[in-house]
Amino acid sequence: MSQHNSYQLARTGAAIVDRSERGWVVVSGADRRSYLHGLLTNDIATLQPGQGCYAAYLTPQGRMIADLWVYELGDVLLVSMIRDVKPTVLARLDQFIFTEDVQLGDVSDTFAATAVVGPRAADAIAASADLAVEQLTALSEHANLRIAFEGQPAIVLNATDTGERGFDVLVAADQVAQLRERLHAAGAVDLDQDVAEALRLEAGIPRFHRDMDEETIPLEAGIESRAISMTKGCYVGQEVIVRVLHRGHGRVARRLVGLTVNGTAAPPAGAAVQADGREIGSVTSSAVSPALGKPIALAYVHRDFVTAGTTVHVNDTDAVVTPTPFVSSNAPLR
């Protein structure tokens, strides 16, 4: 199947996104929520079974260790992150366990995750796992549902970082091939990584170790409205965040912005962004948007150039600062 056709099915039907790059950690024990609440930027303490949130884990200097998705399953918390930061996250979390009733477990190789996205994602999963489709369409943002797949425990999570609405399905590692066979039989198609990346960029979703890294302050990446609770108590790095927000009025030296680029080729990561004859930033991710038919990119630029409509230059080509998402997906899940 062509990339164009698979992209169209992701937008109008159901498509499968490989999630092997994700790591999964279980946090158990009676103190699990209060423990993570004191470390992460979002409100973990009030999560109820079936709920979740997006958060960041910061250094005391306010720089990112990782961005995380946290799900309260009822008896444990499940934490998702990109796999290459998992050893660091696990080591740091373990370092701060003193007298708390908290245990950490790496389940990255126990479960295999498959994302199913698109307006018919719920139909495909329901047909594959013997569920009522309403059980899935009722899931709110970051919600989770424990199910069974072929008699084994499985989990469905509302996925929010793929660029198209959908779900992560976690099954036992030795069952993932069977799950995908069933999803294919239900009409879901595989997305290659280039198309999946285009979906993510059209939605303007930054990815750690691509658009954010260990030098990034969350405010620079623009994730504060989703990842940071402004009403919770202390967390690691809070002083820096509060100082920038309240004393600095949220002003940071650079910000991640969307760029719509002239021409036909997407600029490479690291390409310099220039304006007024000087370098003002660099590209972090780019793709040719199937929906727009032109290259788009995420880039950090100096704060004087973040206003939508500002013209800059990338590889001697004009580009325009563009609000994200570049392309919105409002289709209901069915």
Look at residue 140 and tell me if it is in a domain. Answer: yes
Q: Are residues 289 and 183 in the same domain?
A: no
Q: Are residues 72 and 175 in the same domain?
A: yes
pLDDT, residue 161, reads 96
The span from the CA of 245 to the CA of 103, in Å, is: 34
* Single-letter residue type at 163: G
Q: Are residues 186 and 278 in the same domain?
A: no
Look at residue 212 and tell me if it is in a domain. Answer: no
Look at residue 312 and tell me if it is in a domain. Answer: yes
Q: Using the predicted structure, report yes or no on whether residue 79 has a pLDDT greater than 60.
A: yes
66 forms bridges with which residues in the sheet? 57
* Domain that residue 290 falls in: 253-325
Region at 130 (left for phi over 0; alpha for psi -120 to 50; beta for the rest): left
Look at residue 241 and tell me if it is in a domain. Answer: no
Instruction: Give residue-wise pLDDT tens across range 126-175.
Output: 999 999 999 999 999 999 999 999 999 999 999 999 999 999 999 999 99
Question: What's 186's domain CATH number?
Answer: 3.30.1360.120
How many structural domains does the chain have?
2
The span from the CA of 91 to the CA of 89, in Å, is: 5
Instruction: Give residue-wise pLDDT tens across range 13-42.
Output: 999 999 999 999 999 999 999 999 999 999
Q: Are residues 75 and 180 in the same domain?
A: yes
Domain boundary among 183, 199, 215: 199
* Structure tokens, 22: 């994700």
Q: Are residues 72 and 146 in the same domain?
A: yes
Q: Are residues 87 and 182 in the same domain?
A: yes
Look at residue 57 and tell me if it is in a domain. Answer: yes
Domain boundary among 199, 222, 240: 199
Query: Average pLDDT, stretch 255-266?
Result: 96
Look at residue 219 and tell me if it is in a domain. Answer: no
∠ Cα 22 24 29 (to 5°): 165
Query: Average pLDDT, stretch 71-76?
Result: 98
pLDDT, residue 65, reads 98
pTM: 0.95
Q: Are residues 100 and 20 in the same domain?
A: yes
Look at residue 169 and tell me if it is in a domain. Answer: yes
pLDDT, residue 333, reads 38
Q: Are residues 14 and 132 in the same domain?
A: yes
Q: Are residues 60 and 136 in the same domain?
A: yes
Look at residue 41 and tell me if it is in a domain. Answer: yes
Region at 249 (left for phi over 0; alpha for psi -120 to 50; beta for the rest): left
